[in-house]
Chains A and B, each alone.
Chain A
Amino acid sequence: MTDTIADHAAPDLQVGSPLVEMENVGKSYGAISALEGINLTVNAGEVTCVLGDNGAGKSTLIKIISGLHSHTEGTLKVDGADCRFGSPRESLDHGIATVYQDLAVVALMEVWRNFFLGSEIRKGNYPLAPLDIKGMREIADAELKKMGIHVKDINQPIGTLSGGQRQCVAIARAVYFGARVLILDEPTAALGVKQSGVVLKYTAAARDAGLGVVFITHNPHHAYMVGDHFIILKLGRRVLDKKRSEVSLEELTTEMAGGQELAELSHELKR
């Protein structure tokens, strides 16, 4: 995995330099405002954790960065240039790759086809040029072996892999295709303890190779293990924005669990 990242991560990444900057970004669906006044900076070589309960606006936020929705307020800058993505393709072309929790892969397609989906290698650049199937199989096989992912057969449908393995294949794919910003949408939500550990290690490895990582989660323990910067969203607004040095796990957990509201609730329920 480290080899994969070192080989394919864009060489011009400078740790600490901002890759994506959001200023006062908001998104409203008609009269409903799903996200408002979000300031967020993704620096190279850092993990920015976005935490929040269900419906806090985490998904809307990543959909804006990954190009599935475009924002309605504020500015989104990638490498200092204003951007408004109309499709995921545009976002990918800027080196922003997203690994989704639920829609990471096409279950019935083979592992290697999933690995190269959307970026297939072809023998020629004309319409209907044949795919370089042998080459793609070999690359996918080699990349997965490097990561120590135990896939019995590179030709088996990816739906036959475990959740953690699928997640790792998706991350490996994003990194292999030269992502500079990696967005991980709840990568550990559906996973067991051990598989979560594997995904967290890959996340750290990607960070160490100089990628900017946005880690979306509702698990403060996972976030605190890899994060450099923490943002908590609540009802589409930012309620906490602190560097790792300014915040403790307890504070993060309390804030995530509802903070003041939770204290009141526990007081109320006290017998």
Chain B
Amino acid sequence: MSSPVATPPSPPSPPSTSAKGAEPVRVQRSLVARVLARPEIGALAAAIAIFVFFFAVAPPFRTAEALSTVLYASSTIGIVAVGVALLMIGGEFDLSSGVAVTTSALASAMISYQFSLNVWVGVLVSLLISLAIGFVNGYLLVRTKLPSFLITLSTFFVLQGLNLGVTKLVTGTVATTNVSDLDGFASAKAIFAADIPLGFMNIKMSVLWWLLFVLFATWLLLRTRTGNWIFASGGNQDSARAVGVPVAKVKIGLFMGVGLMAWFLGQHLLFNFSTVQAGLGVGNEFIYIIAAVVGGALLTGGYGSAIGSALGAFIFGMTTQGIVYAGWDPNWFKTFLGAMLLLAVLVNLYVKNYASTRK
């Protein structure tokens, strides 16, 4: 043991002499305790239960084709839900994500068509627009310190109006013109919306992208400094800021992440259907948020997972399709959504208390 020069000649006695003798014992928490503390565990249980349920009651649900449809429906929820989950872990949420998807698709379609450009130009310009929407949400949030509810609610209405208003001004209708004849359509469709034959079933490209985004987000959250900062910004932003975490940058980045995911889904929808309805997307923001919450994200931030959001999206993908396969009225989906949200919030509250009580 070397003392620094400035230390007085006799080094002070260690603070807790009693503890010095008894080496603190490290105990691994039991496997059960560690598994139960994972944020996505509730969603996993629910996903299995719902899968088994529809498997039992709806014979058409048992086919590979149905699984492909379910996965596709899940991916259209899950792609944005990943971004929303990260944002919620960072302590904020975004009500504008649903219409932002439509904004990105409309911008891409109209820019390419009106200027007779290669569709990739529209794709890139709409990327900038989507990131800009995310940036504005985040920048307004950190500057005004208003709740994200108010700021993104404003963005939601602004975009909803813009989507319809601008589309009507430009095309005269509430839908974009078909873009399938434009240059670059085939390559864009291959990237964003191709069908991949697996022999026994076809998988949409969006499913693969979705899984890739989930894996990347999981790695980002758990294995990088950025992930640490996201958890800290949501868990206790004053603490985080005090130890040098750039909370404002993290939050702006997270909103831009949601923008990026909304852009991706928007491009997928555009190249999958070749045309976009301007009124689409309203209400989807809640489905993304609920998928993230069902996946274990706390509404107050600081806790959650990307895999959980995927499980949440899978639950809703299964339910929307399962209700149809079972031959029931699809309107029941919304009731299910509400019940799941309430249940998930209660489970999350329990898990949070379990994880943060003294043991």
Binding site for B on A (CB under 8 A): 1-3, 6-7, 9-15, 44-45, 66, 68, 87-89, 92, 98, 100, 103-109, 113, 116-120, 122, 128-131, 133, 141, 144-145, 147-157, 159-162, 198, 201-202, 204-205, 208-210
Chain B stretch 2-50: residues in CB contact (< 8 A) with chain A: 2-8, 11-16, 18-20, 23-29, 34, 37
| Chain B nearest CB, measured from A170 CB (Å) | 9
Q: Are A144 and B15 in contact (CB under 8 A)?
A: no
Q: Which residues of A contact B2 (CB under 8 A)?
A: 6-7
Identify the closest chain B residue to A130 (Cβ): B223
Give the 4 A-B residue pairs with the shortest CB-CB distance, closest first: A148-B19, A201-B15, A159-B356, A118-B243
Which residues on the B side are within 8 Å of A160 (C-beta)?
355-359
Partner of A129, one of B224, B238, B239: B224
Bound complex: CA A131 to CA B231 (Å): 15
A1 contacts B14, CB within 8 Å? yes
B1 at the interface (CB under 8 A from A): yes
> Given A107-B235, A108-B352, A160-B358, are A117 and B24 neighbors across the interface (CB < 8 Å)?
no
Which chain B residue shows the least CB distance to A154? B26
Interface string of B333-348 (1 = CB under 8 A from A): 0000000000000000
- New contact pairs (5) apart from A153-B27, A205-B14, CB-CB < 8 Å: A13-B6, A106-B232, A129-B225, A154-B26, A204-B15
Most buried by B among A2, A44, A119: A2
* Chain B residues, Cβ within 8 Å of A13: 4, 6
CB distance from A221 to the nearest CB of B (A): 18
CA distance A116 to B241 in the complex (A): 14
Classify chain B: how many residues form its interface, as a range: 35 or more
Chain B residues within CB distance 8 Å of chain A: 1-8, 11-16, 18-20, 23-29, 34, 37, 220, 223-226, 228, 231-232, 235-236, 238-246, 302-303, 352, 355-359
Q: Given contacts A9-B4, A108-B355, A209-B4, are A118 and B240 in contact (CB under 8 A)? A: yes
Q: What are 24 pairs between A and B in contact, CB < 8 Å?
A: A13-B4, A88-B242, A92-B243, A100-B242, A103-B239, A106-B235, A108-B352, A113-B228, A113-B231, A117-B243, A117-B245, A118-B232, A118-B244, A119-B244, A120-B228, A130-B223, A145-B23, A145-B24, A148-B20, A149-B24, A150-B25, A204-B12, A204-B15, A208-B11
Which residues on A sit within 8 Å (CB–CB) of B232?
106, 109, 117-118
Contact partner of A198 (CB less than 8 A), chosen from B16, B37, B220, B224, is B16
Q: Which B residues are CB-close (under 8 A) to A159?
A: 355-357
> Which chain A positions have C-beta within 8 A of B239?
100, 103-106, 117
Q: How far is B243's CA from A88's CA once the two chains are assembled, in angstroms?
A: 7
Contact B29–A152 (Cβ < 8 Å): yes
Q: What DSSP secondary structure best describes chain A's contact surface?
A: loop
Alpha-carbon separation in the docked complex, A109 to B238 (Å): 14
8 Å CB contact of B231 from A109, A145, A161: A109
Would A108 and B15 count as touching, CB distance under 8 A? no
B236 and A88: CB pair below 8 A?
no
Chain A min CB distance to B86 (Å): 14
Q: Are B4 and A210 touching (Cβ within 8 A)?
A: yes
User: Which residue among B6, B224, B232 has the maximum number of chain A CB atoms within 10 Å of its CB?
Assistant: B6
A162 to B225, Cβ gap below 8 A? no
Instruction: Give complex CA distance A197, B324 in Å.
Output: 66
> Judging by beta carbons under 8 Å apart, are A108 and B303 in contact?
yes
CB of A182 to closest CB in B, whole Å: 14
A156 engages B235 (CB within 8 Å): no
- Hey, which chain A residues are within 8 Å of B19, CB to CB? 148-150
Q: Is there an interface contact between B303 and A130, defined as CB atoms closer than 8 Å? A: no
> Which residues of the partner chain B approach A108 to less than 8 Å between Cβ atoms?
231, 235, 302-303, 352, 355-356
In the assembled complex, the Cα of A120 lies from the Cα of B229 at a distance in Å of 10
How far apart are the CA atoms of A162 and B15 in the complex, in Å? 18
* The one of A9, A106, A113, A152 that contacts B236, using a Cβ cutoff of 8 Å: A106
Whether A107 and B356, one on each chain, are in contact in the complex, defined by CB atoms closer than 8 angstroms, is yes
Of B8, B236, B243, the most chain A CB neighbours within 10 A belong to: B243
A271, B228: Cα distance in complex, Å: 61
Asked if A88 contacts B241 (CB within 8 A), the reply is: yes
A145 to chain B, nearest CB (A): 6
Q: Give A13 to B220 CA distance when docked, in angstroms.
A: 39
A108 to B89, CA, bound (A): 11
Contact of B358 among A6, A11, A45, A162 (CB under 8 A): A162
B26's partner among A106, A141, A161 (CB-CB below 8 A) is: A141
CB distance from A74 to the nearest CB of B (A): 23
| Distance A19 CA – B2 CA, assembled complex (angstroms) | 23
Docked complex Cα distance between A264 and B278 (Å): 75
